[in-house]
Structure 1
Amino acid sequence: MKDKAVNAGVTAQTGFELQRNCALLLILDDYTSYKDKSFFVCIEHQDDFLFAFTTNDHKTLQEVYTYQSKNKSGSIWTINADFGEIITKILGTGTNLIQDNMSKTNDYKHKLTFVSNTDMSLKYNPNDEEKGEGKEPVSIKVNEMNEIQSFKSLHSDIRNKINSSVKDYCKKNTKKFDEDEFNNLTLQWVDFPKTANKQREALIGLMHSKFPHVVDPKASIELFIELFRNVEQTYNQGDIASLLDESKRLYAEDLKATLDIIEKEQRTYEKWRNHAETFAPTFKIPLLVQESAKDKIRETFEYLKDLNNLDHKKIQKFIYDNDYRAKYYSLVEIFKGYVSEIRESERINLNDIDIFFTCLCVYVEFYDKGNL
């Protein structure tokens, strides 16, 4: 006999992947509107994921966007019992946000979104009595032609039908809901594949289109996913979802720092690629290392982030203290000077190739911050 439970774990994991991937999709797709704001992201906290916009000290809420994300295989969303259950939980999130202990500004507000990569077909069909009263069928779809639909802007008959589905669910399950939260409800369709692997491919494509200067969008997406994974696997403390729980937060600064790392690696790789013909023979860099220069640069930046790598920190400080752009007439002369004088003045347990790549990364970080 077939047992639906055998794939429950796989199904749950796919759902978790969708939550995280969908959050990343929304950030990358509209990064220009996020990048200058103070906010943090939470996964599996109050709702599937949320964006909390705060004052600069992250202590006071100004606005919260919550998202309930759902896959639906082989069909579309309609106004039925399942839909009523989902909307009930989303409305409950609004109530929980109001009751959350985190401080709020006087003009605080929140938006509650049901987001899915499956079409939504919202229909109202009048019965015979209603037809006699002049009622007519009403239908609206949330899909690629109509991606975002606020509850307030829906036809009144569709609003009433959704309201009834919520009331039916609450009656059967002895639940309560705040009807005012309907005013904060939004339905959203996203152009996103069903499987986690395809979702990653879509994110890589989005990274390429939104950040065309990034040479390795795949590695960049993996870096972001790892960043999200750190908070999505953190338990809500005391089994209570509180926005004051800092362990569940991924700050805007973390996202910006990740993009900064990606862009620094890209600028460094471009600098290497543009001057490899002179750098390689000057510093006797073997062909094998040349061919893997991108990995070498990424590895070097990782070493520079680690405070325990004292040799890399010594080189970083030396270059910060010594700007050779006014001393030498070409990049190759600058790096020859750095490698030679660092070797003479510092006790460094790195070979000349590693010193060169560290100098290259640090030079770009400190002195070459222009556009690619």
Structure 2
Amino acid sequence: MSDKAVNAGVTAQTGFELQRNCALLLLLENYDFYKNKDFFLCIEHQDDFLYAFTTDDYKTLLGVSTYQSKKKSGSVWKINADFGEVITKILGVGTTLRKDDMPKSDNYNHILTFISNTHMAFEYNPNKNQKNKGEKPEACHINEHNEKQIFKDLPQNIRDRFNLQVQKHCQSKSITVDETEFDSLNFQWIDFPITAKKQKEALIGLMSTNFSHVVDPKASVELFIELFKRVEQRYNQKNIARLLDETKRLYGHDLKKTLEIIQVEQKTYEKWRNNAETFAPTFRIPFLVQESAKDKIRETFEYLKDLTNLDHMKIQKFVQDNDYRSDYFSLVELVKGYISEIKKSEHINLNDIDIFFTCLCAYVLMWNFMMREVCDNYQI
């Protein structure tokens, strides 16, 4: 069934940074969990964002974790009509997922999470008659002291209050929900700033902490955000959100390769920086190029990913086929040796500076990291 609301976030990009940033936050915070899973990420699809876990061919669903992310400036989330509307929509996502035509495993399940950087205060206050019957006030607060809460573990009276608000909203809109989806409902508080600028700064800090070997965490976060935007800004065709729509997917293996490639690029820049005083005069690297070495390295890796760049491919293959690590006593002499032999054995149309950077990148890629998956991404 067509639903114009599924493209609301795509149409109105301004103000939706929280959803994208939350998705990246969860990935960076829990990378050790995600890196061993086959999954794809969707943004502005069935919900604000979701992680779909699949078999290794991405054809069968094992489970889905969806997230509705909202902020509430200057207040707290309480059980009221507004929140009842939000929960109704989340429960509807569960029904949509069960009806989705993507094949599911026998033990498929999904988790529907309302996630916010705002305090949630769920309370039940009995009236006088209820107090006389022995009922007592109950409360559950979701914040820095209690970051996650499963709905079915809430006190019954609080669950009943949620159910009542959902029923009222359904009656007002003449709609129905499957109340069994309450069993899949979770709440999560995240320690995340309110503004997009501060959120980005927090992501950079998280990248720096969890991936300390990455030299430029700011550039890394910006690269991930650009990847997320690619799928975020694609429309759900015919206003229907379908998990089989591959244009809305950002695959886990691409995210993992992106992080690995970032690590290789950063490691190469570190090699340059540690040896720049010798590299520059030895290989006649002009000062202007030295100042933009980081961009030059990134550009060179882009060339190495393109099979049509035959000269780069020749250099890469030569480095791959010839291990000079036992023949030289410094990185500078090793690269010099590669360049000398490549010029003797190969016809290369690149200038000397491009040959140098290609040799350096190929060396770090192949011999320093020895990462098979990354090498595969560079056609080795």
**TM-score normalized by structure 2?**
0.91
Name the SS of the counterpart of 2:61 in structure 1. strand
Letter in 1 for 2:170: C
Letter in 2 for 1:302: E
**Gaps (5+ residues) in structure 1?**
1-7
Letter in 1 for 2:202: A
Measure how far apart 1:301 and its partner are: 1.1
Residue matched to 2:354? 354
**TM-score normalized by structure 1?**
0.93
Residue matched to 1:291? 291
Name the SS of the counterpart of 1:324 in structure 2. coil
Alignment of 1:269-284 (within 5 A): 269-284=269-284
More displaced stretch, 106-115 vs 295-304: 295-304
Name the SS of the counterpart of 2:43 in structure 1. strand
In the alignment, the residues of structure 1 paired with residue 117 and residue 301 of structure 2 have an alpha-carbon distance, to the nearest angstrom, of 37
In the alignment, the residues of structure 2 paired with residue 12 and residue 82 of structure 1 have an alpha-carbon distance, to the nearest angstrom, of 21
Verify the 8 A CA contact 1:14 1:195 in the aligned structure 2.
no
Residue matched to 1:177? 177
Residue matched to 2:66? 66
Letter in 2 for 1:129: N
Name the SS of the counterpart of 1:13 in structure 2. coil
Measure how far apart 1:12 and its partner are: 4.6
Letter in 2 for 1:215: V
Alignment of 1:334-353 (within 5 A): 334-353=334-353
Letter in 2 for 1:38: D
Residue matched to 1:4? none
Residue matched to 2:151? 151
More displaced stretch, 40-49 vs 324-333: 324-333
Measure how far apart 1:14 and its partner are: 4.5
In the alignment, the residues of structure 1 paired with residue 302 and residue 196 of structure 2 have an alpha-carbon distance, to the nearest angstrom, of 27
Alignment of 1:14-163 (within 5 A): 14-163=14-163
Give CA-to-partner distance per residue, 1:320-341, whole Å, 9 cap, x none.
2333334444432321122223
Residue matched to 1:194? 194
In the alignment, the residues of structure 2 paired with residue 61 and residue 347 of structure 1 have an alpha-carbon distance, to the nearest angstrom, of 50
Measure how far apart 1:147 and its partner are: 0.7
Verify the 8 A CA contact 2:62 2:107 in the aligned structure 1.
yes
Q: Percent identity?
A: 67
Measure how far apart 1:16 and its partner are: 2.0
Measure how far apart 1:153 and its partner are: 1.0
Verify the 8 A CA contact 2:67 2:112 in the aligned structure 1.
yes
In the alignment, the residues of structure 2 paired with residue 128 and residue 17 of structure 1 have an alpha-carbon distance, to the nearest angstrom, of 45
In the alignment, the residues of structure 2 paired with residue 12 and residue 188 of structure 1 have an alpha-carbon distance, to the nearest angstrom, of 25
More displaced stretch, 46-55 vs 121-130: 121-130
Residue matched to 1:224? 224
Verify the 8 A CA contact 2:90 2:112 in the aligned structure 1.
yes
Residue matched to 1:363? 363
In the alignment, the residues of structure 2 paired with residue 230 and residue 277 of structure 1 have an alpha-carbon distance, to the nearest angstrom, of 40
CA RMSD for the aligned pairs? 2.0
Verify the 8 A CA contact 2:215 2:270 in the aligned structure 1.
no
Residue matched to 2:248? 248
Give CA-to-partner distance per residue, 1:342-363, whole Å, 9 cap, x none.
2343333322111101100011
Verify the 8 A CA contact 2:215 2:267 in the aligned structure 1.
no
Residue matched to 2:374? none
Measure how far apart 1:112 and its partner are: 0.3
How many residues matched? 364
In the alignment, the residues of structure 1 paired with residue 131 and residue 312 of structure 2 have an alpha-carbon distance, to the nearest angstrom, of 78
Verify the 8 A CA contact 1:70 1:115 in the aligned structure 2.
yes
Residue matched to 2:309? 309
Measure how far apart 1:307 and its partner are: 3.3
Verify the 8 A CA contact 2:121 2:140 in the aligned structure 1.
yes
In the alignment, the residues of structure 2 paired with residue 91 and residue 166 of structure 1 have an alpha-carbon distance, to the nearest angstrom, of 9
In the alignment, the residues of structure 2 paired with residue 321 and residue 266 of structure 1 have an alpha-carbon distance, to the nearest angstrom, of 24
Letter in 1 for 2:65: Y
Verify the 8 A CA contact 1:123 1:139 in the aligned structure 2.
yes
**Gaps (5+ residues) in structure 2?**
1-7, 372-380
